[in-house]
Chains A and B, each alone.
Chain A
Amino acid sequence: MHLHKYEKIWLAFGVFALIIFLSVVGVSAFHQGNTPSGGHMTIDPEKVRETAPFNEPGLHKKEDGTYEVSMIAMAFGYDPAKLQVPAGEEITFTLTSEDVTHSFSIVGTNVNMMAVPGQINHRTHTFDEPGSYLVVCNEYCGSGHHFMSTEIEVIQQ
């Protein structure tokens, strides 16, 4: 197959760019540990409120000194509806849904995760600045989807 000279240069440039892009993404993922939210725990979507940690939604301090927030997404809100968390501490959000698919997205942060019924999602975040953070559901969940939001108060300890 005949390839034109400039085409070869252009393709070499393209392959080079591809390698750079993938290296950046790969180093960030495997060396620096930046992976998006995820998890492999499943749950009976009809028994969410009887299953730990969702039987007690809210902020808990774990044994290693970090914090966990267990959070249930539902049409059309979150449980707990009010949440206060400390600034400067590592917080793991543990999320599931008791009905349809939702999301839990904290505006102004990289916390943006899907709440899929039957699955438990995790995302760790440290709030550096105290203040009020808006949380919205950005996955369509029904007629009240646009009312589904909450706020997180981040307080200085």
Chain B
Amino acid sequence: MNTVPKGDRRLALSNLGFAYAAFLIGTLCGLLQVFIRNDALTLPSWLDYYQVLTAHGLLLAIVFTTFFIFAFFQSGMSRTLGAFGPRVLLWNWIGFWVTSIGTLLVVVMVISGQASVLYTFYAPLQAHGLFYVGLALFVIGTWIQGFALVGHYIVWRKQNKGELSPLFAFMTVATVILWVIACLGVVATVLFQFIPWAFGWTEGINVELSRSLFWYFGHPLVYFWLLPAYMAWYVVVPKIIGGRVFSDSLARLSFVLFILFSIPVGFHHQLTEPGIASFWKFLQTVLTFMVIIPSLMTAFSMFATFELRGRELGGKGLFGWVTKLPWRDVRFTSIFIAMAFFIPGGAGGIINASFQMNEVIHNTLWVVGHFHITVGTPVAMTFFGLTFWLIPHLTGRRFTKTLQKLAFLQIGTWSVGMLLMSTAQHLLGLLGAPRRTAYTGYAHEDAQAWFEGVLSNHVTMAVGGSILFLSAVLLIFIVVQLWWLAPKADESTFMQFPIAESDASSTPKFLENWKIWIGIAFILIALAYTIPLSDIIQHAPPGSGRFQTW
């Protein structure tokens, strides 16, 4: 009785399974880290802290998110544009396998101790050449899956000439475009710099160029995580609360603006380094700040949807509508809390990107706190909220009352854990505690102060981290139940993919003219990057050799 076509279902479930396997191992690595940093645990000699840290970053920030995002895209595209044809399905599978093989290659290299280069793999730290090959395959696989989805969209556009595509499909295509343009940077550095250098075909590497190309990719990567969460906020949440999309045209416009302003901005990650003139750093700071506009538009749309629905249900007065929202529905509450975390998260982002304030927090624990309340909560917890119905939707099982209670416990513990851990990390960062260190035992009174506060304390961080791990295990338990063990749904209890109604009748057609937006994006990228990058190439020092310092 499951309405999802079998082929599409198996594809999405394969991506989901991979995502949650990575999630389990990644969070376990996180747990190990907080104990090692507090001297509560000593690793066996064959395992090193920085190996664990590399695995944690890669598995959670890249592998879990990417595989989950494709599972979400594939099920949503199949739901809104109809079942995949055989060719779309085939290319999606090819992409899935290429992505998976790339991931496994990277993981094997990390586990065998030949790639403790962390998630940023900065040159001239040199991992085994196969690590970079794995990274390249990973990106290529995601491109194949992305293009397969765009192919499905093109087929629909041809069959529905002159019509605007459904909002979900529009947003998926926008995200894939962002991802492909963003990856050009990392593909260029991996293929043309890292692989030839790591295998010994070239002598030196231009470190500053590799860093700039990495961060050209590294910032829009953040929006590759965020946009799928925004899709859930714009399209899925209104349906769950029984409302509709607040404004179709504003939703599309905000996604277009995210494409334009999240790519030409990587230099704000390099504000404290030489080789880039202040002017270019400042210009990219300005462009970075522009994402404030679509971010505020998104916030407005969300709360407008909530208020309209709350008032429809009889909410009175200035805030009476808040009480009418479906707080007992974990599919809504999880995502609402995720959104709330994004308010301090976004404010912290403005601080990080600020030309001068960045010096105060650059590479301190503050940054770690920042991405745990942006990627680790708004994005990840939105994905959790989606998981609660996406797996039943695909497996045809029921999200039972007991499982719903457990889901509340899961998001509750995740929120508390994140709050404790990230608050401690932000405060410790302000006190100068560095990130990415195995121990914090510097023999100096300034470093001892990092253990003295109530919240600004490494122990508080560890407590938060431990709660998070328990929450992660609970989530895996729920996933396993929904996948294999919960009772089968019947017609009345089958969980449909929730898609809210979106009135596109007054949406201008040019919003879906991708040529315009891709063109403007490339003009902005050329403005922000051509001169500084050619300067880095022409004014290059002799290349750096290969170093393995772990």
Say whether B124 contacts A100, CB under 8 Å. Answer: yes
Contacts of B46 in A (CB 8 A): none
> Does B512 sit within 8 A of A, measured CB to CB?
no
> Does A43 sit within 8 A of B, measured CB to CB?
yes
Say whether A137 contacts B289, CB under 8 Å. Answer: no
Contacts of A25 in B (CB 8 A): 282, 285, 354-356
- In angstroms, Cα B368 to Cα A138, docked, is 12
A2-B247 in contact given A112-B363, A134-B446, A140-B50 (Cβ < 8 Å): yes
- In angstroms, Cα B294 to Cα A18, docked, is 12
From A4, A10, A138, contact of B436 by CB (8 A): A138
> Does A110 sit within 8 A of B, measured CB to CB?
yes
From B123, B275, B432, contact of A40 by CB (8 A): B275
Contacts of A26 in B (CB 8 A): 282
From B275, B358, B360, B437, contact of A119 by CB (8 A): B275
- In angstroms, Cα B545 to Cα A46, docked, is 8
Query: B-facing mask of A1-25, CB < 8 A → 1, else 0?
Result: 1111011001101110110011001
From B358, B363, B447, contact of A36 by CB (8 A): B358
From B208, B359, B442, contact of A136 by CB (8 A): B442
Say whether B542 contacts A45, CB under 8 Å. Answer: yes
Tell me the smallest distance from the CB of B250 to a CB of chain A, in Å: 7
> Does A105 sit within 8 A of B, measured CB to CB?
yes
Say whether B506 contacts A1, CB under 8 Å. Answer: yes
Say whether B272 contacts A113, CB under 8 Å. Answer: yes
> Does B438 sit within 8 A of A, measured CB to CB?
yes
> Does B439 sit within 8 A of A, measured CB to CB?
yes
A11-B362 in contact given A28-B355, A99-B547 (Cβ < 8 Å): no
> Does A87 sit within 8 A of B, measured CB to CB?
no
- Name which of A52-60, A62-70, A77-85, A143-151 contacts chain B: A143-151
From A6, A29, A122, contact of B355 by CB (8 A): A29
> Does B550 sit within 8 A of A, measured CB to CB?
yes
From B50, B276, B358, B549, contact of A100 by CB (8 A): B549
From B253, B437, B446, contact of A145 by CB (8 A): B437
Say whether B50 contacts A1, CB under 8 Å. Answer: no
Q: Number of B interface residues, CB 8 Å?
A: 76
Looking across the interface, which residue of chain A has its beta carbon closest to that of B510? A1
Looking across the interface, which residue of chain A has its beta carbon closest to that of B435? A138
> Does A35 sit within 8 A of B, measured CB to CB?
yes
Interface residues in A106-125 (C-beta closer than 8 Å to B): 107-108, 110-114, 116-122
> Does A92 sit within 8 A of B, measured CB to CB?
no
Say whether B359 contacts A146, CB under 8 Å. Answer: no
Contacts of A149 in B (CB 8 A): 442, 444
> Does B419 sit within 8 A of A, measured CB to CB?
no
Instruction: Sample 26 A-B pairs with CB under 8 A, ordered by A number.
Output: A2-B247, A22-B286, A28-B356, A36-B272, A36-B358, A40-B274, A45-B542, A75-B547, A100-B549, A101-B124, A112-B360, A112-B363, A116-B207, A118-B542, A119-B207, A119-B273, A119-B541, A121-B273, A132-B444, A136-B437, A137-B434, A140-B436, A142-B548, A142-B549, A143-B549, A143-B550
Chain A residues with CB under 8 Å of chain B are: 1-4, 6-7, 10-11, 13-15, 17-18, 21-22, 25-26, 28-29, 34-46, 75-76, 99-101, 103, 105, 107-108, 110-114, 116-122, 132-134, 136-146, 149, 151
Q: 5 shortest A-B CB distances, which residue pairs? A: A142-B549, A118-B541, A107-B432, A138-B434, A42-B541
